[in-house]
Amino acid sequence: MSSSDTHDSPSAGRSIDFAILVAIAAAVALLHLFTNMRYGFHRDELQFLGDARHLDWGFVAYPPFTPFVERIGLELFGLSMVGLRLFSVLAQAAAVVVTGLMAKELGGARLAQMMAALAVAFSPLPLFEGTEFQYSTFDFLWWVLIAYFTVRLLKSDDPRWCLGIGAAIGLGLETKYSIAFYIAGILAGLVFTPARRYFASRWFWAGMALALIIFLPNLVWLVRHDFISYHFLQHIHARDVGEGRAKGFWKGQFLICTNLAAAPLWIAGLIGFLRERRYRMLALMYLVPLALFAVGKGRNYYMAGAYPMLLAMGAAMAGSWLASLPPWGRRTIETVYFAAFALISVYACAVILPLASSGPLREFALAHNGDLREEIGWDDLVRTVAQIRDSLPPEQQAHLGITVGNYGEAGAIEMLGPAYHLPPPISTVNSFWLRGYPTPPPTTIILLGNSRERADELFTNCRLAGHNGNSEGIRNEESIDHPDIFVCGPPRKPWAEMWQNVRDFG
């Protein structure tokens, strides 16, 4: 196979190439669809769902795109985990196909396109993105699309591709603010490579205007809320560094962002971009955010979206190199590579995916995957709160409020509580704080997610009323860090005064 095969092949051959990419993406999508109904919602998903019930042009913890998508999911599917996670599955599948197409545009024939697509499909972080709906799932797709449009721009020298880049940047800014680091890489790539010529094109400025127009509603929201999301991000970053979550950045580039067996591909891809003048901009689109995240102590998975373009280039280069080898050499290398890739991929699937609802495979996943453990126990928590409510005298039930200590608890009460006729949660965390407290304020409080000391500090006459655990005995954040549930009287200070002093970021 030579790098020209793709370009010289007839329409039928190109259709087969595309069909293979779609088949790879569809196979992984089906794997997610058949397993995504197990366990329960993750605490992050519960926050997105809670915010989806109160749509706005911005939220404290993130821009509005992900809650908006989940609101559509709620309208279509209700509280179906498979239905609500479908959008994440589709986003991951799209990223797989686009990566294969990127390899094609970089000169890769069928084998190269397959290698690139498979490398993304079975890298740990992209694989995880199909198991839950997270803003990082859609953020990953925008990074991949920006890279694809940039490849098309540089290859064709048609500046109209700047419109696609601008649209993807705008959607990225409406999804996750960390895309600003990728934008820094794009600008550096434009300034320090021959791609600077696009600054003189009206299409470049039209693309940037399009990005700004898409981002503008959230920007207005940020201004109106005193850039509260910036203060949130400062707090979360300090917390992550303090708790050691920023450690292992470099190791994560090999073990989290990409499939370890595909490391030779993305390393070769980076070298290829650096060596090829036409595509050098893409090397800076990787190196600049990498340096910024490394110096700024970002978490290791923040760079995941930058690797598909490296894998695409590396796969195209590998395909050309393999085609130059004698048949026995090509077959030997392909066999060794795909065997190693398959072994690592199977291990990644066993750790990341909820493949089994019981038995050793389930125990293995729960032992090695903290995110899966955080999906267990929310129904038990809400049921326990309902039982405590039912044990109270009618006059206390009539003036009851439920206060929570974190966004997972808030989302659980918000989304699962109506089945038990529980009132909406009262929370000081993130955007829940902006929604305030009910009028008239409750006089009896069921308090979750706080210590006895904190309960007595805020409220009167607190007593231990129950425990927060789960029926499966799984040790996770809720069962370990927030085991006690209290019933309290009114707050020690007036609600309005207390509310101004208890805003939390989490």
> What b-and-e string marks burial along 292-304, b requiring 16 or more CB atoms within 10 Å of the CB?
bbeeeebbbbbbb
Please report the pLDDT score of residue 421 as a whole number.
97
User: Once rounded to an integer, what is the mean pLDDT over residues 86-94?
Assistant: 98
Matching residue, tokens 């950045």: 249
Determine the Cα–Cα distance for residues 187 and 196; give it in Å rounded to an integer: 9
- Decide if pLDDT at 118 tops 80: yes
- Decide if pLDDT at 172 tops 50: yes
Pairing of strands 444-447, 463-467: unpaired
Split at pLDDT 50, 70, 90, the class of 402 is: very high
Reading the block at residue 271, the tokens are 């070298």
Q: Which residues pair with 402 in a beta bridge?
A: 425, 446
**% pLDDT > 70, the chain:** 98
- Decide if pLDDT at 10 tops 90: no
Please report the pLDDT score of residue 465 as a whole number.
97
User: Once rounded to an integer, what is the mean pLDDT over residues 247-273?
Assistant: 97
Give the 3-state secondary structure of residue 353.
coil
Please report the pLDDT score of residue 471 as a whole number.
87
12 alpha-carbon distance from chain centroid: 36
- Decide if pLDDT at 6 tops 70: no
User: Once rounded to an integer, what is the mean pLDDT over residues 185-196?
Assistant: 98
DSSP state of 306: G
User: Once rounded to an integer, what is the mean pLDDT over residues 345-350?
Assistant: 98
User: Once rounded to an integer, what is the mean pLDDT over residues 385-411?
Assistant: 97
- Decide if pLDDT at 2 tops 70: no
- Decide if pLDDT at 87 tops 90: yes
Reading the block at residue 100, the tokens are 């294969």
User: Once rounded to an integer, what is the mean pLDDT over residues 277-303?
Assistant: 97
DSSP state of 79: S
- Decide if pLDDT at 208 tops 90: yes
User: Once rounded to an integer, what is the mean pLDDT over residues 412-431?
Assistant: 97
pLDDT, one tens digit per residue, over 243-259 is 999 999 999 999 999 99
Reading the block at residue 339, the tokens are 């065997």
**Is the pLDDT higher at 379 or at 501?**
379
Determine the Cα–Cα distance for residues 289 and 181; give it in Å rounded to an integer: 5
Pairing of strands 444-447, 400-404: parallel
Pairing of strands 484-488, 444-447: antiparallel
Please report the pLDDT score of residue 446 as a whole number.
98
Please report the pLDDT score of residue 9 as a whole number.
53
Tell me if 487 sits within 8 A of 402, measured CB to CB.
no
- Decide if pLDDT at 164 tops 50: yes
Determine the Cα–Cα distance for residues 378 and 367; give it in Å rounded to an integer: 19
Rg (CA), the chain: 25
- Decide if pLDDT at 8 tops 60: no
308-313-316 Cα angle (round to 5):
120
Reading the block at residue 114, the tokens are 């397959």
CA end-to-end distance (rounded Å), the chain: 52
Determine the Cα–Cα distance for residues 320 and 462; give it in Å rounded to an integer: 71
> What b-and-e string marks burial along 464-503, b requiring 16 or more CB atoms within 10 Å of the CB?
ebbebbbeeebebebbeebebbbbbebbeeebeebbeeee
Give the 3-state secondary structure of residue 63.
coil
Reading the block at residue 213, the tokens are 């127009």
Model pTM score? 0.95
DSSP state of 466: E
SS3 letters for 3-39? CCHHHHCCHHHHHHHHHHHHHHHHHHHHHHHCCCCCC
